Amino acid sequence: MNPHFGPVALEKAYRLINHGPTVLVSARRDGVDDVMAAAWACGLDFSPPKLTIVLDKATKTRALIEASGRFAIQIPTAAQVELTRHVGTRSLHDEPDKLTRAGVSLFAVDRFDLPLVAGCSAWLACRLIPEPHNQSTYDLFIGEVEAAWADDRAFRDGHWQFEAAGPEWRSLHHIAGGHFYAIGEALDAPS
Amino acid sequence: MNPHFGPVALEKAYRLINHGPTVLVSARRDGVDDVMAAAWACGLDFSPPKLTIVLDKATKTRALIEASGRFAIQIPTAAQVELTRHVGTRSLHDEPDKLTRAGVSLFAVDRFDLPLVAGCSAWLACRLIPEPHNQSTYDLFIGEVEAAWADDRAFRDGHWQFEAAGPEWRSLHHIAGGHFYAIGEALDAPS
């Protein structure tokens, strides 16, 4: 186990996605694991923390989530830009060894039957809040965050550490066609 | 009129928010204009482009949107971090001259009865798609983007120009309590 892996208080979990990073979505059902990339993930509430995620009907990950009612959201790092691109453009439907080819290594946490992607900076374990109209009409899914964790080299004491961590820890923000920006410099605006 | 202001093709409009910036939301009703900041704005569809935005019940902007069925999303720049913080923490309910105090200058575009914030890098004119259950249960609003524009110093030919533009053009990504990150360096992952 990565010694830098540790829990994030639920009331701070929204901070893991508040800056709009591209995320990896993972799910498991009947021994099948999948991971996909998604730029359309977003905070929805603070307490209990909720989030939205848009999942195309063509993805295997969506089918696993609909069947299991669970998913994980994780924040990939600049060091994982090729992995992120790979899982975001190939489908488990067409490439059964997609995760191996993408270089994805999975791990699990006690009490959570979810495939978590090693090397990310943060992870959120979510329970699907079923909203059939949103899911069928808009491909829009709502999750309640039940637990969160981070690598303390990237997020510690409730704060991202981008200023001090190496550039390989920066979050990824996809525009289109494999063109990303890493998160940049801190700017503060006291009220 | 700012000579750098020009239209963005609707099929490229999703790229204006795909990297997860904190946005400004504005709306108008019966001669009342309001502008607020929101970190929870997200793409929802490509064509026609749609987006989601989370609007707290306490905000005046939400009331204007519910009454008018229209709103604008705009992308503030690093140069506007204090403006963004101000409109994100003060309410028109309590501070009637909020926009003046925040340094907000508004302009309009023909055929769109919407208050647009000068100095931003991009603007999206949206029509509310009424979804009463989402709005009342989750504070979640869905908009269809009917037109989009950008300042060509920041976004041109369908692409953000962060690499070449000055640092004052970088988008803002809020974490919490007035602590933002600007968007950073480009990273490409060809498929």
DSSP chain B: --TTEEEE-GGGGGGGTTT---EEEEEEETTEEEEEEES-EEEEEETTEEEEEE--TT-HHHHHHHHHSEEEEEE-BGGGHHHHHHHHH--TTT-TTHHHHHT--EEEETTEEEEEETT-SEEEEEEEE--HHHHHHH-EEEEEEEEEEEETTTEETTEE-TTTS-GGG-BEEEEETTEEEEEEEEEE---
If contacts are CB pairs under 8 Å, which of residues 12-71 in chain B contact chain A? 15, 18-22, 39-45, 50, 52, 54
DSSP 8-state assignment for residue A60: H
- pLDDT tens-digit map of A113-165: 999 999 999 999 999 999 999 999 999 999 999 999 999 999 999 999 999 99
**For all residues of chain B together, what is the average pLDDT?**
97
- pLDDT tens-digit map of A82-101: 999 999 999 999 999 999 99
**Predicted local confidence at residue B112, as pLDDT:** 96
Q: Give the Cα separation of A49 and A12 in Å (integer).
A: 9
Is A142's Cβ below 8 Å from some Cβ in B?
yes
**Predicted local confidence at residue B190, as pLDDT:** 75
Q: Give the Cα separation of A125 and A71 in Å (integer).
A: 6
Strand partners, B43: B51
**Predicted local confidence at residue A191, as pLDDT:** 66
- Contact between B46 and B11 under an 8 Å Cβ cutoff? The reply is yes
Average pLDDT on B42-67 reads: 97
Q: Give the Cα separation of B137 and A130 in Å (integer).
A: 13
- Measured between CA atoms, how close is B114 to chain A, in angstroms? 25
If contacts are CB pairs under 8 Å, which of residues 82-141 in chain B contact chain A? 82, 84-86, 89, 133-134, 138-140
Task: Dig out the tokens for A72 from the structure.
Answer: 């994980």
Task: Dig out the tokens for A154 from the structure.
Answer: 């990237």
One-letter identity of residue B185:
E
- pLDDT tens-digit map of B81-99: 999 999 999 999 999 999 9
Residue B1 has pLDDT above 90, yes or no: no
Total count of residues recorded for chain B: 191
**For all residues of chain A together, what is the average pLDDT?**
97
Interface A-B, measured as beta-carbon pairs within 8 A, has a size of: 163
Distances (CA, A) of A102 to A1, A77, A112: 21, 14, 24
Please, is A161 exposed, middle or buried when counting C-beta atoms within 10 Å of its C-beta (0-12, 13-18, 19+)? middle
**Predicted local confidence at residue A190, as pLDDT:** 75
- pLDDT tens-digit map of A73-82: 999 999 999 9
**Predicted local confidence at residue B67, as pLDDT:** 98
**Considering only CB atoms, which chain A residues are within 8 Å of B84?**
189
